[in-house]
Amino acid sequence: MWNFVKPKNLTFSEYQEQISNQYKDDNAILALFDTSKYENKEGRLANVTFTIKDNYATEEGVTTSGSRLLKNFKPQYNSTVFQKLIDEGAVPLFKANLDELAMGGTGTTSGFGIVPNPIDRTKQVGGSSSGSAFLQAIDAVDFSIGSDTGDSVRKPAAYINRIGFKPSWGLISRYGISEFAASLDTVSYFTNTVEQAALLLEILQGKDEQDLTANEDNTKFSEELNTNKKYKIGYWPNLVSNLKDKTIETDITLLADKLKADGHELLEMKLHDDLFDAMLAVYRIVALTEAISINSNLTGFLFGESGKGKDFNEQSINTRSENFEYEVKKRMLWGAYSAYESDLYKRALDIKEQLIIEVNEVFERMDAILLPSTPIKGNNMDGTSSSESPLDDYLWMFNANGSPSITVPITSTTVINTSVNIATAKGQDLECLRLAKIVEGYNE
C-alpha cells in the first residue's frame, strides 16, 4: 500500500536534511521533527512518513498557522490527529507551511513565504494547505495532512495530480487544530492512492472527549473498497461544456462514457442559478464571520508577539498591524463588517441552509455527484487567471452540508492533469471512496 519514499540507505534524519536543503527556497517546510522520538514503532503505519500542516498543535516545536504573530507559540499537547498517527507508528518529518491562519487559496499569503507548484512553477500550488501539497507533489512523504474549509485540500490536490480527500464533517476529531471556520473546517489529507485515503480514515475516525462533534464509524474502509455496485451519478453537463479549458471538458466526457459503458447511470443535475451565483458571497460571509470569532484571541497578550501601546486596544491594533499579512487583514475586515451587520450574516445563513437542502435533495435521488475539481489547471503565480467560472468556488457546498468529497486525477501526463471531484451524502464515506476507486482504476 505504501511506497516508503525514504531511501533505505538514509536515516530519517539524513533524509529530512536532504529534502530540506534541496527545497529550502520553496518555503514549504517550516520545521523538522525529531524523528528519533517516533521511528521503529509498531502499528498499521509503521515507518510510513508524513507531513502535517502547521495549524495542527504538536507538543514538539511551535505551531504558527503560517502567521508571524504565532512564530513563538508552543502548544503543550498534540492534536488528536497527530497523536493517532504516531500511535500507529507513522513518522512525522515536516511541519508544512500554509496560507496565514488558513485564510487563502493560493499558497502565496503565508507570513513565511510563497510556496510554488513544483510540477509547474509558473502556477500556484493552491491553498491553504500549500506546504502539505508541495511535499506530497515531490514525493517527500508518503502522505500529507491538511485541513479543508472550502477546498483547501481538494483543489491543491488537482494542481499536483494527487488524491485529496475531505471526509464527512464530524467523522474525525478537530481537537488541536487552529481553525478558519469551525462549521466548515474538516480534517483532510493528500495521498497517492484511494486505498491509502481509506486506511487513513479508518485510523483517524472516531469519538474524542476533546471534540464532542466527532462521531464513531467502525467501517473497515480499506477492506471494503471493492464493489460491483452500479452508481447513479449526478452530472453537471452545462457547466462542463462552459469550461474555458476544453481539455478538461474532453477528459471528463471520456470518463463519463467509460462510466456509462460499465453500467453506471449518469443523470443531469442543476442548482437554481440564483443560488449558484450567490455561493461565493455566502461562503465569504459565513466563513469570515466565524473567523473573526475564532481568532479574537490573537491580540498579542495570549500568544506570540506583543505590540507596543498604552492600553489593550492600542496594543492589539499594533500587534495585528505589524504581524498579519494583507490577506488576513482584508478578510478580518470583511468578517468584522459581516458580524456587525447581523442581518447580512443571518441572510447568508438562510441561503446556506437552502443550499444544503438542495444538495441533500440531489443525494436523495443519486448516489454521488461527479464534477470537475477545477475549471482550469492552475492559476498563474502572478495572480492572473484565465477563469472566472463559478466552479472556482463550488466545492465549498460539500463543506456546507458536511459531505465527503474527494479529488481524483483522471489523466496521466508529466504536467498538471485533469481531475474530478466525487461527493456523496454525509456519512456515505465508504461509497465516496468506492466510486473514487472505480474512477482511479480507469487511469491505471
Query: How many distinct structural domains can be found in the chain?
Result: 1
When pLDDT is cut at 50, 70 and 90, the band that residue 267 belongs to is very high
pLDDT beyond 70 at 390? no
pLDDT beyond 90 at 276? no
Q: Can you tell me the mean pLDDT for 300-327?
A: 81
When pLDDT is cut at 50, 70 and 90, the band that residue 389 belongs to is low
pLDDT in tens, 17-44: 999 999 999 999 999 999 999 998 999 9
Q: Residue 259: inside a domain, yes or no?
A: no
- Annotated catalytic residues are 53, 128, 152
Q: Can you tell me the mean pLDDT for 70-83?
A: 96
Q: Residue 149: inside a domain, yes or no?
A: yes
For cell 480534517, name the residue. Answer: 187
Q: Residue 249: inside a domain, yes or no?
A: no
User: How far from 318 is each of 313, 377, 431, CA to CA, in Å?
Assistant: 9, 40, 50
Output the nine-digit C-alpha cell for 444.
Answer: 491505471
pLDDT beyond 70 at 311? yes
d(CA 418, CA 425): 24
- What average pLDDT is seen over the chain? 93
Residue 183 belongs to domain with CATH number: 3.90.1300.10
Name the more confident of 184 and 246. 184
The Cβ of residue 19 has, within 10 Å, a number of other Cβ atoms equal to 23
The identity of residue 284, as a single letter, is: R
When pLDDT is cut at 50, 70 and 90, the band that residue 275 belongs to is confident
The Cβ of residue 4 has, within 10 Å, a number of other Cβ atoms equal to 10
Range of the domain at 167: 12-204
Q: Among 86, 39, 97, 36, which Cα is nearest to 63's?
A: 97
**What is the sign of the dihedral through the CA atoms of 96, 116, 394 and 291?**
positive
Q: Are strands 368-372 and 232-235 parallel, antiparallel or unpaired?
A: parallel
Q: Residue 418: inside a domain, yes or no?
A: no
Helix residue ranges per DSSP H, 205-309 = 237-241, 246-261, 273-294
Question: What is the per-residue DSSP string for 160-183?
Answer: HTSEEEE--TTSB--TTB--S-TT
d(CA 236, CA 231): 16
Helix residue ranges per DSSP H, 126-168 = 130-137, 154-160
Q: Worst-scoring range by mean pLDDT, 149-163, 246-260, 283-297, 375-389?
A: 375-389
pLDDT in tens, 409-431: 999 988 999 999 999 999 999 99
pLDDT in tens, 87-100: 999 999 999 999 99
Quote the pLDDT of residue 414.
Answer: 84
pLDDT beyond 60 at 135? yes
Q: Residue 427: inside a domain, yes or no?
A: no
pLDDT beyond 80 at 242? no
Q: Residue 228: inside a domain, yes or no?
A: no
Q: Residue 144: inside a domain, yes or no?
A: yes
Quote the pLDDT of residue 304.
Answer: 60
When pLDDT is cut at 50, 70 and 90, the band that residue 270 belongs to is confident
pLDDT in tens, 323-348: 899 999 999 999 998 888 778 999 99
pLDDT in tens, 203-222: 999 999 999 999 988 899 99
Q: Residue 429: inside a domain, yes or no?
A: no
The length of the chain is 444
Q: What is the pTM of this model?
A: 0.96
